[in-house]
Amino acid sequence: MSNLTAALIQQTYGPRREDNLEKVACALREARRAGAQLVALSELHGSLYFCQQEDPTWFDLAEPIPGPTTDFLSRQAKELGLVVVGSVFERRAAGLYHNTAVVLDTDGRLAGRYRKMHIPDDPGYYEKYYFTPGDLGFRPIETSLGFLGVLVCWDQWYPEAARLMALEGADVLIYPTAIGWDPRDEAAEKQRQLDAWIAIQRAHAIANGLPVLSVNRIGLETPAGPPGIQFWGHSMVVGCQGELLAQAGADNEETLIVTLNRARSESVRRAWPFLRDRRIDAYQGLLKRFADDPSVAGHSSA
Amino acid sequence: MSNLTAALIQQTYGPRREDNLEKVACALREARRAGAQLVALSELHGSLYFCQQEDPTWFDLAEPIPGPTTDFLSRQAKELGLVVVGSVFERRAAGLYHNTAVVLDTDGRLAGRYRKMHIPDDPGYYEKYYFTPGDLGFRPIETSLGFLGVLVCWDQWYPEAARLMALEGADVLIYPTAIGWDPRDEAAEKQRQLDAWIAIQRAHAIANGLPVLSVNRIGLETPAGPPGIQFWGHSMVVGCQGELLAQAGADNEETLIVTLNRARSESVRRAWPFLRDRRIDAYQGLLKRFADDPSVAGHSSA
């Protein structure tokens, strides 16, 4: 297989899982008709983004894996012959929940899961209340289309996560995402946030010579009342040099269909041999939280 | 000090060190008049970018530290009351050379040095022939203006280098650089390269909540004959959210003068608390070259 055709499904979601999965089903069929082999959905596509408040009743949305959502996605994947990357609020045990990406292969098999490793917590995104940090590490998921480096949302701000997936053999990085603006923020601040989100994901492609697929939702959601979050869309497909191959807007439901040339990663990595020159003998500090005494640590022999 | 005014000096350089340093001296005086406190020069500003070929006579350009270039920069720094970030082809011993950034403080003292850690080698940039990889690690250099996270050129493609400097307490990242186009490349390829170079450095600012200063040279240089390298300039100052505060063009000598608000790093890191959530318990793989058997490493329990 020299090419891979991927579809990114950017949608709004409402309060009822059945409705959301029905929307997903329609989009999957449409993507299949357009030639997609791999389809990526956005984060927590079965519900509103409920993490805008800390309320224990939202835990009722959680489900096991396998469970209703993976059963549904499995049937779709098998029927349509697609590899599907979905997202589940995973109930692992009483009091133990994860924000989990799942991958269904073309035979309907659950190829693997990734439990979100980096968990945010800031106003409007109270994820540390709901989600236990992942404990499966950064492992690409093997599918009939290759190794998928599936990460989730907040992970996208961490070069470490992208690098680890690349070093573990990922062929592509995929970020199901739910990110948006505080409607009260000024236009310039909103633009800086969006630009930063695009830049850092382009940088993951560049640093690792891999394509990056990032899928976000759209729509204003106010499950905890105003102001809510205006999800900013801008789902994107980035090539191995960081070039934007396709990008959606902020306002409309949209399916991006992009055909990736699998040979490009090899040729770009030959031209930009970053993996060759990593100073693994000098990276131990990456395993530390911080060098707590910079007045000592910063000492340089002159 | 709530503000820091930085100057980035983008110039052409010729074959004679004396001429190049005289150009630097003029630019330093001009930067001082414009209010600069910190001035950053580009990589190997004492010579042409000689690494376009492997020729042992170029080693004659190397000099000790302290030596002619640091003596010169020291006098300038003291006379003008500037912190100066310069670059030296360092002769450490016979057969042992480094690509070294140096920092002179306002009292003329050599505040510290950084020996380029990541060394490139690809057509036109035969640096592995000339430069031994640095052995001083990623340590910010303490100055009267704060801790400077000085890195050099190829380092700019490595998120690890930027992160390590941030974790060691850098207040700002500074990249003396010499990068350009192969004149034979097509316009679209040139644009992708330049765009990638900008994006990944913006990403270092974003991931670490720090300003980034990157200083490149301009001009077509053909010390090894045609086609040579067309240095692409585009020196830039990037804010803590990855926003471009100032950027030079590709064709002209230019000094960028930008005043940075030192409080911004603190406020941006509060809004984007990436350092808080790093999974240092799960980053051991960053110390490996590669997971050599992805069919095993990629296995995910489903």
What's the gap in Å between the CA of B128 and the closest CA on chain A? 10
- Of A51, A63, A116, A127, the active-site residue reads A116
Enumerate residues 6+ apart whose C-beta is below 8 A from B281. none
Structure tokens at B228: 């040579």
Whether A153 sits among the annotated catalytic residues: the reply is: yes
**Two tokens, residue A165:** 């997936």
How far is Cα A234 from Cα A202, in angstroms, rounded to an integer? 13
Cα–Cα distance for residue pair B88/B130, rounded to 1 Å = 13
Distance CA B192, CA A268 (A): 11
> Does A286 contact B290 at a Cβ distance shorter than 8 Å?
no
**Can you give the pLDDT at residue A292?**
77
Distance CA B51, CA A19 (A): 62
Torsion from C-alpha of B22, B23, B26, B31, nearest 10 degrees = -130
Strands (E), chain A: 3-10, 38-40, 83-93, 96-104, 110-115, 141-143, 146-150, 172-176, 180-181, 212-215, 218-221, 229-232, 236-238, 244-247, 254-261
- Residue A294 pLDDT greater than 70, yes or no: no
Q: What is the domain partition of chain B in residue ranges?
A: 3-297
Instruction: Tell me if B211 sits within 8 A of B173, measured CB to CB.
Output: yes
Element (H or E) spanning A244, and its range? strand A244-247
Is pLDDT at A298 greater than 80 in this prediction?
Answer: no
pLDDT per residue over B185-233, tens digit each? Answer: 999 999 999 999 999 999 999 999 999 999 999 999 999 999 999 999 9
% of chain A beyond a pLDDT of 90: 96
CB A212 within 8 A of CB A205: yes
Which of A273, A275, A284 is the closest to B122 by Cβ?
A: A273
Angle (CA) B271-B273-B278 rounded to 5° is: 165
The model's confidence at residue B295, banded by pLDDT at 50, 70 and 90, is low
B200: closest chain A residue by CA: A203
Give the list of residues 6+ apart from residue B163 with CB closer than 8 angstroms, or none.
A159, A160, A286, B207, B208
3-state secondary structure of B106: coil
Using alpha carbons, select from A85, A101, A105, A89 the residue that is nearest to residue A40.
A85
C-beta atoms of A192 and B241 within 8 A: yes
d(CA B125, CA B290): 25
Q: Check: CB of residue B231 under 8 Å from CB of residue B216.
A: yes
The pLDDT value given to residue A124: 95
| CATH code, residues A3-297 | 3.60.110.10
Q: How many DSSP H helices and E strands does chain B contain? A: 7, 15
> Which of B153, B216, B246, B239 lies closest to B9, judged by CA?
B216
Binning pLDDT at 50, 70 and 90, where does residue B292 land?
confident
pLDDT in tens, B36-47: 999 999 999 999
**How do residues A197-224 score in pLDDT, each as one tens digit?**
999 999 999 999 999 999 999 999 999 9
Q: A26 is written with which tokens?
A: 């329609």
Indicate the residue of A243, A277, A291 with minimum beta-carbon distance to B168.
Answer: A291
Q: Which single residue is written with the structure tokens 């974003």? A: B206
Q: Using alpha carbons only, give the angle B24, B26, B29 rounded to the nearest 5 degrees.
A: 110
pLDDT at residue A141 greater than cutoff 90: yes
Phi, psi (rounded to 5 degrees) for A286: -65, -15
Best mutation target, A148, A286, A301, to test chain B (most B CBs within 10 A)? A286
Q: What tens digit of pLDDT does each residue of B82-91 get? A: 999 999 999 9
Assigned token pair, A90: 């995973």
pLDDT tens digits, A26-80: 999 999 999 999 999 999 999 999 999 999 999 999 999 999 999 999 999 999 9
Length of chain A: 302
Integer Cα distance of A139 and A166 in angstroms: 9
Regarding an ipTM greater than 0.90, the answer is yes
Does the pLDDT of residue A300 top 80, yes or no?
A: no
CA A30 to chain B, closest CA, distance in angstroms equals: 28
- DSSP secondary structure string for all residues of B120-148: --BTTB-HHHH-PPPSS-S-PEEETTEEE
Taking the whole predicted model, whether its pTM rises above 0.80 is answered as yes
Quick: pLDDT tens for B139-161.
999 999 999 999 999 999 999 99
Catalytic residue at A79? no
What pLDDT is recorded for position A301? 43
Measured on CA atoms in the order A154, A159, A163, A166, is the torsion positive or negative?
A: positive
Q: What are phi and psi of B193, to 5 degrees?
A: -65, -50
Beta strands in B195-278 (DSSP E): 212-215, 218-221, 229-232, 236-238, 244-247, 254-261
Provide the percentage of residues in chain B whose pLDDT is more than 70.
Answer: 96
**Cβ within 8 Å of residue A276, ≥6 positions away:** none
